[in-house]
């Protein structure tokens, strides 16, 4: 990490002019577009058509696809697509297939009436979500393989900007279109917006990753074939599983050894402070007496702007000072901003206080997300990029979601101030773990293990 620390401020800012960095703005938009269209925007459409709350609730299960994408990531990582892989490459071929699924699914949803075709809409939403999760796998791998570790924070920064802009388009934008022209027009417009990612994929070069191995060239697969007593289809199936599933996991464990445990712990703990309090933010605003329009203006407009600012600054700071010091700063910011929510709970319905709270929280989230993505990217081997990153991205939200379950109970029993202090304290283990990792060699540059095996 030392070369990164010697950059001047001008050189650190200049990383945002790299073609690989600019390109991620469009891929981030493509990744963020489908998310709300199968969640909150879809539920608004269903309720507007008088679909029962019970039926709407079951649509939440569609989101499971994003949490289990690690199960099919080995296929996306290692299996070529007939025709598409030859024409566009492994990453772009899968990306274009996923984007086609998103566009066709959204268009078909637009042409369906929930009052008459609720079950088909559910299947189409599942298609969009599955395609979106598959696209996430390919974009993450594309980003990591597109440039060196030192530029990953800038790549992540522009990715976050594009993602947030897409959330704005798929959320507020789709609702505005639906209000003036109907839901059919809204979802057709969103399907058209999916062309942004397809054009970006068509115009971008396939990332060069000489470390990436074909399954048959993988040393672990070759050793398996030399030693196995299996034959026929059993031998081929076992060899495929060895190359796509076992090899990526074994590679990670071999490269990091006993450090793999602390690293995975940090992956799961880093966002736990933020995720645990997320469900209680809007109830706090409402209970304090803020109007829905005030909440929308401050959280959606000002908040998104501060997230973008935090993401850009995070990328610059990593380019200037390195990943691990900024990873520590990000963890500290997330924990401290939870205390700002506790302060807001004591102030009451003060609009300036709400601006301060939302500004601090969203800046911290944008900064920490950019740095965290860069750190995760530095951990993966480019032999198994998609599989290993999908494992990290699936694992990083699980502890926070589990611990966030009783958040409402804590508020009911002890109040908002105690809850947000508790949420802030949840960030301490991640902070301590980062400090410990940094103390090992003075920089915490554990990414040097990337291709050690």
The pLDDT tens digits for 132-183 are 999 999 998 899 888 877 788 888 888 988 998 998 898 878 888 988 899 9
DSSP string, 388-411: HHHHHHHHTTHHHHHHHTTHHHHH
The pLDDT tens digits for 212-225 are 556 666 677 677 67
HSE-CB at 203 with a 13 A cutoff on CA atoms is 13
Kindly report whether the global pTM for this prediction surpasses the value 0.95.
Answer: no
Round to whole Å and give the CA distance between 85 and 341: 49
Round to whole Å and give the CA distance between 105 and 216: 35
Highest average pLDDT, of 6-10, 271-275, 398-402, 419-423, comes from 419-423
The residue-averaged pLDDT of 104-121 equals 93
The pLDDT tens digits for 42-87 are 888 888 888 887 777 777 778 778 878 888 888 888 788 999 999 9
Q: Which domains are delineated in the chain?
A: 7-209 (1.20.1250.20), 257-453 (1.20.1250.20)
Q: Which two tokens stand for residue 73?
A: 């990531």
Round to whole Å and give the CA distance between 340 and 421: 9
Round to whole Å and give the CA distance between 423 and 426: 5
């Amino acid at each position: 990490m030392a070369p990164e620390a010697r950059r001047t401020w001008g050189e650190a800012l200049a990383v945002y002019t790299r073609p690989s960095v600019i390109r991620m703005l469009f891929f981030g938009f493509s990744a963020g577009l489908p998310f709300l269209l199968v969640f909150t925007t879809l539920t608004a459409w269903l309720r507007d058509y008088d679909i029962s709350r019970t039926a709407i609730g079951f649509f939440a299960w569609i989101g499971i696809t994003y949490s289990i994408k690690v199960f099919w990531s080995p296929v996306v990582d290692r299996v070529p697509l007939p025709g598409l892989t030859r024409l566009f490459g492994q990453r772009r071929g899968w990306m274009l297939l996923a984007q086609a699924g998103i566009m066709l699914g959204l268009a078909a949803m637009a042409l369906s009436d929930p009052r008459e075709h609720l079950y088909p809409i559910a299947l189409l939403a599942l298609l969009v979500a599955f395609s979106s999760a598959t696209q996430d796998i390919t974009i993450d791998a594309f980003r990591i393989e597109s440039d060196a570790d030192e530029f990953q924070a800038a790549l992540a920064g522009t990715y976050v900007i594009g993602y947030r802009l897409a959330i704005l388009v798929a959320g507020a934008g789709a609702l505005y279109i639906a209000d003036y022209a109907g839901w059919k027009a809204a979802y057709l417009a969103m399907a058209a917006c999916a062309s942004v990612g397809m054009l970006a994929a068509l115009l971008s070069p396939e990332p060069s990753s000489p470390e990436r191995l074909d399954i048959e060239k993988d040393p672990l697969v070759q050793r398996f074939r030399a030693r196995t007593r299996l034959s026929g289809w059993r031998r081929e199936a076992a060899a495929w599983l060895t190359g796509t599933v076992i090899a990526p996991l074994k590679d990670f464990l071999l490269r990091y050894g006993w450090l793999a445990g602390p690293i995975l712990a940090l992956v799961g703990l880093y966002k736990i402070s933020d995720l645990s309090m997320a469900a209680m933010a809007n109830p706090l605003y409402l209970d304090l007496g803020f109007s829905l329009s005030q909440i929308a203006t401050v959280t959606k407009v000002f908040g998104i702007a501060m997230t973008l600012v935090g993401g850009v600054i995070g990328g610059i700071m990593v380019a200037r000072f390195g990943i691990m010091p900024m990873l520590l700063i990000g963890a500290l910011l997330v924990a401290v901003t939870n205390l700002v929510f506790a302060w807001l709970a004591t102030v009451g319905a003060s609009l300036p206080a709400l601006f301060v709270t939302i500004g601090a929280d969203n800046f911290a989230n944008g900064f920490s997300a950019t740095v965290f993505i860069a750190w995760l990217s530095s951990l993966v081997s480019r032999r198994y990029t998609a599989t290993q990153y999908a494992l990290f991205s699936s694992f990083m939200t699980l502890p926070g979601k589990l611990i966030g379950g009783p958040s409402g109970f804590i508020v009911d029993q002890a109040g908002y101030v105690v809850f947000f202090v508790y949420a802030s304290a949840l960030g301490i283990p991640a902070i301590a773990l980062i400090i410990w990792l940094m103390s090992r060699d003075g920089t915490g540059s554990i990414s040097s293990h990337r291709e050690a095996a």
